[in-house]
Amino acid sequence: MRYVLCIDDDREVLDTLARDLSWLGPEHRLECCQNAAEADDLLTEIEAQGDALALVICDQVMPGESGVQFLERLHARAPTARKVLLTAYAGLASAVHGINRSGLSRYLEKPWQPESLRHTLTELLEDYACQHAGDPALDQFARRDGPDLYAKVEAFSSHFAELRREGFYFWQRPLASGCEHVVRMPDGRSLLMLSSNNYLGLTTHPRVLEAARQALERFGSGTGAVPLLSGTLELHGQLEQRLAALKGGQACCLFPTGYSANVGILSALARDTDVIFLDRLVHASIVDGARACGARIRTFHHNRPDDLERKLTAESRRSPRCGRLVVVDAVYSMDGDIAPLPELLQVAHGHGARVMVDEAHSTGVLGERGRGIAEHFGLKEPIDLVMGTLSKALGSLGGFCVAPFPVVDYLRHYARSHIFSTSLPPATTAASVAALDVLEAEPERVANLRARSQRVRARLQAAGLDTGPSQTAIIPIIVGDQTRLARMGKDLYARGLYLNSVYYPAVPREQCRLRLSLMATHTEEELDAACDTIVEIAHRHGLL
C-alpha cells in the first residue's frame, strides 16, 4: 500500500483536500493529520507495516514547527516521498530556502483549483511509481520473517499489483502469436520483438516445425520416463551426436533445461574438497550449481585473466591437492560481451584447472557457422566442458553438456537433474535436430544476425547512447536512473517496441538498463525505425 498524507491544522482544509483527492485509486490510501506529531506517529505505523509513503501535502504554517522544517525531518526518513508545500502567499522565501534540504517537489497556493491539484499530484504520483518500479528488490520480500510462510507473499503481491495498475509491470506480458521478429499481443497490437533469445528465428522455421510434427506423430507427446530407464529414444542419441560434433567434443549428455544442466554438471563433478572459480558475472544457474555441490567458491573480476591468475596462484599454495574448475560464460547475458577464452584457458590450464564454458548465448551466434566460441577464436583443442542450451538460437528447449566420453558417462549416472528428470519430449528433440540442419544449410542467418547487431549498435552509439561492452546480438542501453528507465520502458512499449527493462539486483543500481536482443529475421528497416524511436524517447526523458 502507498500512503498519501495531508497535514494541516485547519480541519476545513483537510476536508477539502479529502474531497478533491477522491480520484485516488485503490493502490493509494489517504490519511489526514492536524500536526507534525500525529504525522510522525502515522509514519511509524506505515513503516512497521512495510508500506510506503508516496506523497505528503503539508501546510507551511503549523504549530510547533514550519512545514519546511517538518519536511526537512521527513526527508531523512522518507527521501523518495514526493513533498508538496501548501502556502497562502506567493513569496515562498522560506520554502525556497529549504528546497534542497527538504526534498520539496512542488508548492501549492491556497486556494487551489481541483483540476490543477489533480494534474500536479497525478504527475508526482506517477513519478514516484516510476522511481519505485524496480524497488524493492525481490530478495527484500523473500527475507521477511514470521511464523506464517505466506506472510512475505502479501507485501510482494501488493507491490506488484500496484505496478500492474500503474502500467509499470513489464514482465510476463503474454503473446498471442509465435515468438517471431514481430509478435501479436492479445489486444491485437503488433510489436517489434526486441526481447527474445530466438536469435536465428528458428522457432517457426518450416523445417523445424515439420520435424516436430513428424516426431509427435511417431513417438507421441512425451517419453514417460527418465533417461536411465525407458526414457531414451533414438532421437536423443541423434541429437547428442550432432551437438558433440557441433562443439568438437566426444560425447554429449542432455538435460531438461539450461538451468538444470549447469546445476547438474557442477553438483556432480565438484565436492566440498574442490574449488570453483567463477567470473563475477556468470549466470545465476552456475552460481546455484556451485553452491549446491558444497565446493569452495572463489570469484574473479569480470573478463580479467590476470585476476584469475592471482586467485589460482593463491589457492594452489593454500590447497595444492584440491580439484579446480574455472567457469565462465561465453557471452554474458546482460552486456553481450565475449569472454577472452584463449587467455583464460592458458591461465587455468597452467594451474592444472579444468575450464567449463556456458555457451547458452554463443551457440548459433559466434563463429562463421555459428558453432560457438571455439570457432570464434579458432581454438584447436576442445574445451574441457561445454554447456549449452537448445532454447535460444536453436529455437527449442533443453540443455546439454559436451565433454570427453568418460565425463559424459559419469554425468549420466551422477547428475541428479539428469537422472531424476523425464527426458526431453520427442517433438522438442526432433526440432533441435532440424534446427542444427538449418544452421548448417543456412549460414547466412548467422551472418545476418552479426550484421544487424553491428548496425544497431553503431546507430545507438552515434546518437550518444551507452551500449556498454556489447559485441553480440545482446545490446544494453545503460540508463542508470530507474525512474527514467521505467518511463522509457512504458513509452517504448506504447510505441510498439517489446524490449526488456532490467533493474537491480539483476544489474547494479547505477547500471539499470534497457536490453535489446536481436534476431536474424529482423529487417534493416525495422531496426532503423526502432533505433529512431529509442533515440527519440531517450531525448524526451533526458538521457540524451
Split at pLDDT 50, 70, 90, the class of 129 is: confident
Catalytic residue among 247, 392, 522, 541: 392
For the residues 240-244, what does the mean pLDDT come to? 98
pLDDT digits 0-9 by tens, 174-215: 999 999 999 999 999 999 999 999 999 999 999 999 999 999
DSSP 486-498: HHHHHHHHHTTEE
Q: Could you tell me the pTM of the whole model? A: 0.81
| pLDDT value of residue 143 | 66
Catalytic residue among 132, 361, 376, 541: 361
C-alpha cell at 435: 534446427
pLDDT digits 0-9 by tens, 383-426: 999 999 999 999 999 999 999 999 999 999 999 999 999 999 99
Cα–Cα distance list, 496 to 191, 432, 491 (Å): 5, 31, 9
Beta strands, E only, 256-314? 275-279, 296-300
* Percent of residues in the chain assigned helix, strand, coil, to nearest 5: 45, 15, 40
333 assigned to active site: yes
Which residues on neighbouring strands pair with residue 106, listed in sequence order? 84
**In this structure, are residues 212 and 431 in contact, taking their beta carbons and an 8 Å threshold?**
yes
Burial of 145 (C-beta count, 10 Å sphere; 0-12/13-18/19+) = exposed
3-state SS, residue 236: helix
Percent of the chain beyond pLDDT 90?
64
Domain-by-domain residue ranges, the chain? Answer: 2-131, 182-199+444-540, 222-440
Which residues on neighbouring strands pair with residue 400, listed in sequence order? 254, 388
| pLDDT value of residue 51 | 76
Mean pLDDT of the chain: 90
| pLDDT value of residue 90 | 52
Split at pLDDT 50, 70, 90, the class of 100 is: very low
Split at pLDDT 50, 70, 90, the class of 279 is: very high
pLDDT digits 0-9 by tens, 14-29: 888 888 888 887 778 8
Alpha-helix runs per DSSP H in 404-481: 405-414, 416-419, 426-441, 444-462
**In this structure, are residues 220 and 426 in contact, taking their beta carbons and an 8 Å threshold?**
yes
CA-CA distance, 287 to 299, in Å (whole number)?
10
361 assigned to active site: yes
Superfamily designation of domain 2-131: Response regulator (3.40.50.2300)
> How many other CB atoms sit within 10 Å of the CB of residue 497?
21
Class of domain 222-440 as given by CATH: alpha beta
pLDDT digits 0-9 by tens, 69-97: 888 888 888 888 888 888 776 555 444 44
392 assigned to active site: yes
Catalytic residue among 102, 195, 196, 333: 333
Q: Which of 309-323, 435-449, 493-507 has the highest mean pLDDT?
A: 435-449
DSSP 257-270: SHHHHHHHHHHHH-
Which tops the pLDDT comparison, 368 or 156? 368
For the residues 38-65, what does the mean pLDDT come to? 83
Amino acid (1-letter code) at residue 192: L
For the residues 517-536, what does the mean pLDDT come to? 98
Lowest-confidence range among 128-137, 247-256, 478-487?
128-137
Does residue 140 have a pLDDT over 90? Answer: no
For the residues 329-343, what does the mean pLDDT come to? 98
Class of domain 182-199+444-540 as given by CATH: alpha beta
Query: What does the H/E/C string look like for 180-192?
Result: CCEEECCCCCEEE
pLDDT digits 0-9 by tens, 142-168: 666 778 888 778 777 777 777 777 777
| pLDDT value of residue 96 | 47
Lowest-confidence range among 263-277, 311-325, 375-389?
311-325
